[in-house]
Amino acid sequence: MFGFFSIQHYHTSLKEGKVTCLQAVEHYISQIQAKQHLNAFVNVFAEEAISTAKRLDDKRKQGADIGKLHGVVIGLKDVIAYKDHPLTASSGILKGFTSLYSATAVQKLLAEEAIIIGNSNCDEFAMGSTNENSVYGKVLNAIDETKIPGGSSGGSAVAVQADLCMVSLGSDTGGSVRQPADFCGIIGLKPTYGRISRHGLIAYASSFDQIGIFGKSIRDVALILEVVSGKDAYDSTVSQQPAPAYSSLLSDKGKYRVAYFDEALNHPSLDPEISRSIKGLLKRLETRGHQVKVASFDLIDHIVPAYYVLTTAEASSNLSRYDGVKFGIRANQPKPELLEMYKATRSEGFGKEVKRRIMLGTFVLSAGYYDAYFTRAQKVRKLLFDQIQLIFNDFDFIFLPTSPSTAFKIGEKMEDPIAMYLADIYTVMANLAGIPAISLPLFKHTNGMPFGMQVLSSHFNELALLRLSNQLMQQLND
């Protein structure tokens, strides 16, 4: 019986001949079939994965050097391009579309001999916090199938949670990796904006989007990060800084300066049990020699409005390309006029939430409201950036909740988009500032659901972030 514990353990087992890549792939294919009702995957590349596994097994038997991700089975969110494979952003408007190229991150995975098992379900165009906004239907939380898995990368989170793959990639525009990781009881990392190339990632809000990583161990997440990070000629926003060998540099026992916000931990939206658990952890860290202090932060009630003004504005521009001319569906309509075809295609192809955000974004960019909304939101973003920079002059990390609550019932907030948007209160900060953040599965609620804690660090300080995360996860297992 195949069992996965970590990439390092898996590679040791491969080298000792205790398991093969083929056995691993066959295990995951059977798991996906057995748990198909969770709806985590929208496409499974079974034959291709089996063929790749056999080729890698043959290569290893011949004594050749193996890649860092040799035989590692990975899921891709359905917004990340993989050449000659379906790519739909879980939207009807891209029905039948096949990607013409691979994302740079995918190319790097394949270069290190990873096996892509399939495309995972998500909220349409990564717009949503519950994975209920998908043309393929909702994704179920494997811990409690009456609950949402979080979104928009819910399929990627459940794929790791339910042991349908070893690790997975998602995208994080305002918490779409960290929040589902929180609800599913796994690790979710959003790196610094520009740490991973966005080439091949379908754009939602270009100045916020970042590819993120799901896993069950810090070392696995660190290894994926070191592989997919780095410069890329196809992305002018990507950092030119070389990525450290994160996975081999985690054994640090240093003491750190940790900040927290009273405004966050005592916010009326936060579940009292989540607040108590994080406060308790902060006290334990202090007793272990870390410096833990409150930091002043007065923008918490402004960041969600600023985030949704800016992201919807960018979305209204980015999604204008889906018009039925070059790719995706084209609506049949009696009138031959081009404008009518545009309107019919977009009305038919986009779902309710995507239409809502396109209309909101178009409104805030309109001539009469641009200064009142878009310009003011940009000012809030600059104020937030400056405040965060000042905090990191005195502290190494900021601790926050990941979500105000544990995973809630399917359908509970679908009729109240404002309540849904406000649930992003703790995650959007990292995207507005462009800093790295990770959600760690440290706690379990009395309602039986897991919940995590979010740790934020300064720009391109992922190594320290992963080191502290490794400490916290090890303490959890002590």
Helix (H, G, I), strand (E, B) or coil at 188: strand
Distance (Å, whole) CA 133 – CA 219: 32
Spatial distance between the Cα atoms of 156 and 41, rounded to a whole number of angstroms: 8
Q: How many CB atoms lie within 10 A of CB 71?
A: 27
Cβ atoms of residues 154 and 170 within 8 Å: no
**Catalytic residue selected from 171, 176, 217, 439:** 176
Helix (H, G, I), strand (E, B) or coil at 125: helix
**Dmax of the chain from CA atoms?**
73
Catalytic site residue from 102, 152, 153, 239: 152
- What single-letter DSSP state applies at residue 233? T
Which of 388, 389, 319, 392 lies closest to 360 in space, CA to CA? 319
Bridge-based pairing state of the strands 211-215 and 291-294: unpaired
* Burial (Cβ within 10 Å: 0-12, 13-18, ≥19) of residue 213: buried
Within 71-217, residue ranges assigned H as helices are: 104-111, 154-161, 178-184
Instruction: Report the C-alpha gap between 158 and 214 in whole angstroms.
Output: 10
Tokens in use for 195? 């740490």
The DSSP string of 369-407 is TIIIIIIHHHHHHHHHHHHHHHHHHH-SEEEEES-SSS-
**Active-site entry in 35, 68, 77, 216:** 77
352 classed as catalytic: no
Q: Is 59 a catalytic residue?
A: no
Helix axes of 218-228 and 7-15: crossing angle, nearest 10 degrees: 80
Q: Are 243 and 229 in contact (CB under 8 A)?
A: yes
Strand, helix or coil at 238?
Answer: coil
Q: Is 176 a catalytic residue?
A: yes
What order of strands is seen across the sheet that includes strand 187-190?
A: 41-44, 115-120, 73-77, 167-171, 211-215, 187-190, 437-444, 450-457, 397-401, 257-260, 291-294
Q: Would you state the structure tokens that stand for residue 380, as one six-digit string?
A: 């809030």
In terms of Cα–Cα distance, which of 273, 272, 294 is closest to 283? 294
The answer to whether 158 and 35 have CB atoms below 8 angstroms apart is: no
Per-residue b/e over 308-332, b at no fewer than 16 CB within 10 Å?
bbbbbbbbbbbbeebbbeebbbbbe
Active site residues: 77, 152, 176
